[in-house]
Chain A
Amino acid sequence: MAEGGRQKAERPAPSAISIQPSAVWDALASVPDPEIPVVSITDMGMVRDVTVGDAGGVTVTFTPTFSGCPALHVIRDSIEQAVRDLGVTDVEVKSTLTPPWTTDWIGDDARERLRQYGIAPPAPTGEGQLIQLDVEPTRCPRCGSLNVRMTASFGPTLCKRMYVCDSCREPFEGFKSV
C-alpha cells in the first residue's frame, strides 16, 4: 500500500500561511471525477472536510463512492495535486467511510450536467429497504420519457446501469441510486 502517509514539507511555503479553507474548496471544485468528467469531486459530495492547520498544512478528508472503485487512487492523487498547486507543501489526504456516500449528495446543477452529458441522474435513495427487487423509475436523459427499459444492471463503471428508451429509441446510462 503505497498510498496515504503524511507528506512532509521540505521547506516552508510562504504562501501556505495565508491559505483559506474556502480557497482549497474552490480548487477541489475544479477536480473532475475521473470517470465522469462533467462533474467534479465536490459536485459528487466526495469531499467531506477541509482543515488548515496552524502551520499552514492542509488536510482533506474524502469518502469513496464505491469501495471497489478503481479510480480511488487517481482521485486521491488529484486532490493532493490540486492543493499543492495552491502552493501548499504540507498536504494530507484522508479517507472516511462515515457517513457512507450516497447519491443524494449530488447537487441539482450537477444532476443537470449529468443529464446533458447523457447520463440519467440518480433517483432519491429512499433509505431503509435492504432488498428492493423493484428498480427506481428512471427518465430518458434525451427525451425525458419514463418509458425506458433497463438492459443491464451493471454498466461500464460501478456507479452506472444501462438503459434503452422505448420512446426515442436511444440507449443511455443511468446513475445508480445508492
Chain B
Amino acid sequence: MTTTPTTLTDPQAQALLLKLTVLADDEIILAHRDGEWTGHAPILEEDIALANIAQDELGHAGLYLSLAQTLGGSDPDQVAFWRGPDDYRNTRLVELPKGDWAFTMVRQFLYDTSEALWLEAATRSTYASLAEIAAKAVREEKFHVQHTALWVERLALGTPESERRTQAALTELWPHAAQLFQPVEGEAELTASGILPDLNAVHARWTDLITWHLVDKCGLTLPDAPTTQPGRDTHTEHLAPLLEEMQSVARQHPDAEVW
C-alpha cells in the first residue's frame, strides 16, 4: 500500500517531519565539516573530493527539507540558516571538529555506510516521495562509500603512524556512531506502517559491514560500544561556533534570495 501526505495521520506526519529534520541536520553539519578541508586537504584531488561529497550531502539535505516542507515544515533555507544549536538535531558524530585526515575519513566512512544502508532500505518505503528521494540519493552515496572505504584501508594498512592515527580516530568516534541509529519520537509507528526502514535491521547490517571492513580487512580494533547515548538535542561545545560561521552570511544578508 502506498502512503501519501493525505493518508498520514497527524502524529505520523509530525514524526516524519522530525525524522526528515534529523536526517537533514546530519547532512548539513557533516557537509560543513567536509567543506572546512577546502584548500587544506593533503592533496588537491582530495580537496576536490571532499567538496564533491559536501555538495552531495547538501543536495540530500535539500531533498529531505523539501519533503519536510510539504508536511508543514519551514522553508529549507530557513531551517538551515536560522536555527541555533538548541534546535539542531544532528548527532555529535558529525559536529566534532574536523581533526586530522584519518579522523575525517573514519568519520565519513562510519557515516557514509550508515547513510547508504539506510537509503537502500528507504527505497522500499511505502511513502512514495521518500522512496523516490532514497532511490536518487543512494546512487550518489555509493561513490562516497567506495571512496572513504579505500582511504580508511590505505591509512590503516599504511605506515605505523597512519595506523596509529586511524585507530585513534576510530576510538574517539566510536562512542558517537551509535547515535546515528537512535530513533526519533514516533519512529516505531512509522516503521510498523512501512514508511520508514527498520532502524534495528539497518544497524545490524551496518555493524556487519563495518566490522568486516575495519576489523577483518583493515586490522583495526572496535572499542566497546557505549551503554548509553545522549539525545540528539544535546550537543558538544563545537556546534555553536560551527553554526555561527555557517550562518554568518545569511544572517548578515537576511533579505538575499540566494547566498
Contact = CB atoms under 8 A, between A and B. Distances in A.
Interface in A112-152: 130-133, 135, 151-152
Contacts of B48: 152, 154-156
A131 B58 contact: no
Contact of A67 (B46, B62, B149): B62
B51, B53, B77, B139, most chain A CB atoms within 10 A: B139
Nearest to B46: A152
Chain B: number of interface residues, binned into ranges? 35 or more
B237 interface: no
Given A131-B116, A153-B146, A66 B56 contact: yes
A40 B202 CA distance: 40
Nearest to B50: A154
B23 to A, nearest CB: 13
Nearest to A178: B139
Chief secondary structure at chain A's binding surface:
loop
A67 B136 contact: yes
A96 B140 CA distance: 17
A69 B55 CA distance: 7
B147 interface: yes
B145 interface: yes
Interface residues of A, number: 28
A153 B52 CA distance: 10
16 contacts: A1-B76, A2-B257, A2-B258, A67-B59, A69-B55, A97-B132, A130-B116, A131-B145, A133-B149, A135-B146, A152-B45, A152-B48, A152-B49, A153-B146, A154-B48, A154-B147
Interface of A: 1-2, 66-70, 97-102, 130-133, 135, 151-156, 158, 162, 176, 178
A67 B143 contact: no
Contact of A162 (B45, B57, B120): B45
B76 A153 contact: no
B55 A158 contact: yes
Contacts of B258: 2
A125 B139 CA distance: 10
A154 B140 contact: no
Interface in B126-149: 132-133, 135-140, 142-143, 145-147, 149
